[in-house]
Structure formats: structure tokens, C-alpha cells
Amino acid sequence: MKLVLGHLYPDLMNLYGDRGNFIALQKRCEWRGIDVDLRRVTVGDDVNFADFDIVFVGGGQDREQEIVWSDLGRHRDDLARAVEDDVVVLAVCGGYQLLGHYYLTPGGRKIAGLGILDLHTESHSSRLVGNVVCRSEYLPAPGTLVGFENHGGRTHLGPGVAPLARMVKGHGNNGRDGTEGAVYRNVFGTYLHGSLLPKNPHFADVLIARALQRHHPGAELEPLGDALEWRAHRAAAALAGVRG
């Protein structure tokens, strides 16, 4: 079996170690004997999203995000078709915001997003920062996600998406409604940095399994020895003040 992994704008969107998510996906495939074709896409590159099985985009500073938003807008329709064909997408922070309808800057300027996820984001002067623990119905037991958030944006979900998780500790999408991230088909958006997948191996495997099952219905992943990953998971939860 083979998967094509696409890393969007790794030179611009790599805040708080987000690149580690792409490495985790690559390694967890290779450890199982799944061939991986790694493709990195940056500004000005031609891309056909139908070629990918998993697409990852991380977070960045405001300047880098605007560059990426402008460039990726050229590929909006192609990416939307891939999403409807159930290509797996993981988008973190700025990449997550980009998939929504718009981003409202502190000065009141509305930057159009791709409109792939039914959500919008409004920037605030205060930031939502800290270690996070949340619970997701999209994950196998124990169902917890851990990570680190640092965002000025307040993201509000529309009826066309479901939250990825519900907060146990931390702020999440907007600090008010108790939600974190968003899910639509095989698209997962989240504010969790740090990087996310190395210390959430069950989430990494959900993404890989969904990608495999598009071509091989019923495909199951061989378990890996994840003792170190779960130690990191528990340590991150403890930093947030959650044990057990």
C-alpha cells in the first residue's frame, strides 16, 4: 500500500513545531511498511490535490498567513473537489482559519477564506494561550487530545461542521462555547500546536486509516509500540493540570 502526503507551505507555516505532524505521519506509515510519497508545496507551485491522500498545513504569523491565503486561493476549487472526494486534510491554527469563510483582522479588514469549512474567525487583542486537554468522539479510547494553543483568533462554527473535540482544560475555538477544532468529511481543523500528532498517536492513526480506506475499504492498521508517545501524551496532560 502507498500514500501520497502533501505538506503545504512548510517554509511559511511551521509555527510551534507544526512540521512534526508531517514527520509523525510519515514515520507511522513507514514503520508499518506503507510506502509514502512526500510532496512539499509552496508559493507559486502547481498542485493537483486529487493526487494526495493526506494534506497537511500548519500555522504561521499574520504576514506569512496572508501570503499563503493569497497563493492557495488559486487552488480553491481543486482543493474543494478533493475534500468532497474525502482526501484527508489536517489544518492547524492559521491553516485551519484559512479553510473558513473569512478572517476579520483587528483593524476590521475582512480577509476572504477558502469557504471549505463552515466557520469564520475574528481577531481579538487578547490571546488564548496555554496547554490544552480535550475529548473527541472521533478518536478511539481514551479519546483525549493534548496540545498547546496560542491564538488571537476566535473561531465560530456554523451548522455545516462539527467540533473536533470538547474542552476539558484550555480555551479552544473561542474561549466561550467549549469547542475545539472542526470536522467536515475527512477534514480536521484544530488550534493545537506543539506538535500535535507525536503525542496523540491515536489521532495520527485515524488520519492514516481514513486515507488508506479510500482505496482499500476495511483496511486496518497494525498496532505500534507507542509507549513513548503515550508518555508524552500524559506529560502534556499533566502540564495542563489534568491527570489520569
- The band of 136, judged by pLDDT with boundaries at 50, 70 and 90, is very high
Residue 158 has pLDDT above 80, yes or no: yes
Residue 55 lies in a domain: yes
For residues 99-113, give the mean pLDDT.
91
- 197-227 per-position pLDDT tens digit: 999 999 999 999 999 999 999 999 999 999 9
Residue 188 lies in a domain: yes
According to the model, what pLDDT value does residue 180 have?
Answer: 98
Higher pLDDT, 14 or 138: 138
Residue 196 lies in a domain: yes
According to the model, what pLDDT value does residue 66 have?
Answer: 82
Give catalytic status of residue 93 as yes or no: yes
Residue 37 lies in a domain: yes
Please identify which of the residues 7, 75, 151, 193 carries the catalytic annotation. 193
According to the model, what pLDDT value does residue 16 have?
Answer: 79
Q: Quote the domain boundaries for residue 132.
A: 2-239
Q: How many domains does the chain have?
A: 1
Residue 66 lies in a domain: yes
CATH number of the structural domain spanning residue 145: 3.40.50.880
Please identify which of the residues 7, 29, 75, 93 carries the catalytic annotation. 93
CA–CA gap between residue 201 and residue 125 (Å, rounded): 34
Residue 244 lies in a domain: no
